[in-house]
A and B are shown apart, each in its own frame.
Chain A
């Protein structure tokens, strides 16, 4: 487990060291409580929005940009992207349409980031 975290909540970018003992956390390096909250989240469940492209048929472009509707654990990001590189979607598509349901069993859907065949 990486216990050194750079807080990204404000421009100070504190380097926070966090130690856990029986669900009790001790911190050093942070200036404020927002940083504490952030570093606990980063230790327990670091999530990221996954963004990538998928192949699309009958569109002005070969690729359609997509994203995960919610954050996914950061260790799964690459796996999601590999999974999405295997699919090809058909038009018409509206921005927000579900492109891939429940990716890797995370319960998170992948949605389109734009309408197909934009001008």
Chain B
């Protein structure tokens, strides 16, 4: 039995930053399933990380290296190659690895930092045969950037999320022929910067409102059928055409990896599919905190680190006691708001709070309006809002203290409405 103050599950950017912050005041145990730290960062060899925290554009491995060095120089107890099997309602953790066997851990607080997983073919019911040559974008990224293998020569990419776009460029630079990126939505899923620097720079075409209707091939992918879709995302049969290729890359979204929470009563958000948190990054289960992509999928690792530091600080300070009734303000997504994180504000005596929100559809010249119940209390203008670009709102201490209802409603409305 190991006894500790804080156990952090997951050694990616969220786990690293939260462990370091918690270790300023407490004993910390960090558990990582893989054989190295950094989560997805070591394979994200492109630049674009750390613009806010380090004030420069770093690559993924560089960003990770900073935190890995800090962890090595700290007194945090680190166990890699260690899989957590369960968490019970008394916050007892059971984990395993090949040297310790079964490890039982008693810890005062827990930080969930397991990140997210890529969606696969079966989650979008992609029809066709099941040949070799179909990979998720992240798996292809690992093969090329870590293992040094090329997954194919003639590549089709389904989905225009950021990982898919980054991989389109990477495949081109490694000598493959990227035939095109096909996106079912009428708008690209990734950031404009990536459309320009990953597709336009390499003359890779992007087909919007298109999907794959069939995968063809026995042993190896021989091609796919693609078709335009109508406004209800149904393929238009007359537009279907066959495109030969030997590799299909799926970049069709990420979902928080919450399997470990199944045995404990932790509330999950229907939209983000991640853990519901309050402004201290505490879940609905007292003493269990969450940060990073297990809460919702962030655009920037810098924001993951910020959320992790909040979780780490509060998990480090956590004291178990009967809390009685705590006043709670629910943050509720309204018109053209898909979700808001944190979903709950507790303890109005906190400092500023950063709200993250994503919109449902693209709109121009809008106001983001915050309402205390029904009374508008804050308004921020945006020239454009789009689903791939997360919006941030900083709530001042004063504003938070002024809220008198137990609901904070957020709407996005066109300026002239």
Interface residue ranges, A against B (CB under 8 Å): 6, 8, 10-13, 31, 48-49, 51-53, 55, 60-63, 65, 67, 74, 77-78, 81, 95-96, 113-115, 118-119
Which B residues are in CB contact (< 8 Å) with A13? 192
B37 touches A81 (CB 8 A): no
B57 touches A52 (CB 8 A): no
A-B contact count (CB 8 A): 86
Chain A residue at minimum C-beta to C-beta distance from B197: A48
19 pairs from A and B in contact (CB 8 Å cutoff):
A8-B196, A8-B197, A11-B385, A12-B383, A13-B192, A60-B35, A61-B146, A65-B45, A65-B145, A67-B62, A77-B173, A113-B45, A113-B60, A115-B65, A118-B37, A118-B68, A119-B36, A119-B37, A119-B78
Which B residues are in CB contact (< 8 Å) with A52? 45, 173
Given contacts A60-B36, A62-B147, contact A95 B65 (CB under 8 A): yes
Interface residue ranges, B against A (CB under 8 Å): 35-38, 42, 45-47, 57, 59-62, 64-65, 68-69, 72, 78, 80, 145-148, 173-174, 192-193, 195-197, 200-201, 383-386, 389
Which B residues are in CB contact (< 8 Å) with A31? 383
Task: From B36, B59, B174, give the contact of A118 (CB < 8 A).
Answer: B36
Give the distance to chain B from A93, nearest Cβ to Cβ, in Å.
11
The secondary structure that dominates the A interface is loop
Chain A residue at minimum C-beta to C-beta distance from B68: A118
How many Å lie between the Cα of A95 and that of B41 in the bound state? 14
Which B residues are in CB contact (< 8 Å) with A6? 192, 195-196, 200
B200 touches A11 (CB 8 A): no
Given contacts A60-B36, A62-B147, A113-B61, contact A53 B45 (CB under 8 A): yes
Give the distance to chain B from A117, nearest Cβ to Cβ, in Å.
10
Which B residues are in CB contact (< 8 Å) with A115? 65, 69
Add 9 more A-B contacts to A11-B385, A61-B147 (CB < 8 A): A6-B195, A11-B384, A11-B389, A51-B47, A60-B36, A62-B148, A67-B59, A118-B68, A119-B78
Which A residues are in CB contact (< 8 Å) with B65? 95, 113-115, 118
How many Å lie between the Cα of A119 and that of B384 in the bound state? 43
How many Å lie between the Cα of A113 and that of B48 in the bound state? 13
Task: From A12, A61, A74, A96, give the contact of B201 (CB < 8 A).
Answer: A74
How many Å lie between the Cα of A62 and that of B145 in the bound state? 10
Given contacts A11-B386, A63-B145, contact A113 B196 (CB under 8 A): no
Which A residues are in CB contact (< 8 Å) with B69? 115
A67 touches B47 (CB 8 A): yes
Chain A residue at minimum C-beta to C-beta distance from B47: A49
How many Å lie between the Cα of A76 and that of B224 in the bound state? 33
A8 touches B193 (CB 8 A): yes
How many Å lie between the Cα of A52 and that of B61 in the bound state? 12
A119 touches B47 (CB 8 A): no
Given contacts A8-B196, A67-B47, contact A81 B68 (CB under 8 A): no
Chain B residue at minimum C-beta to C-beta distance from A64: B61
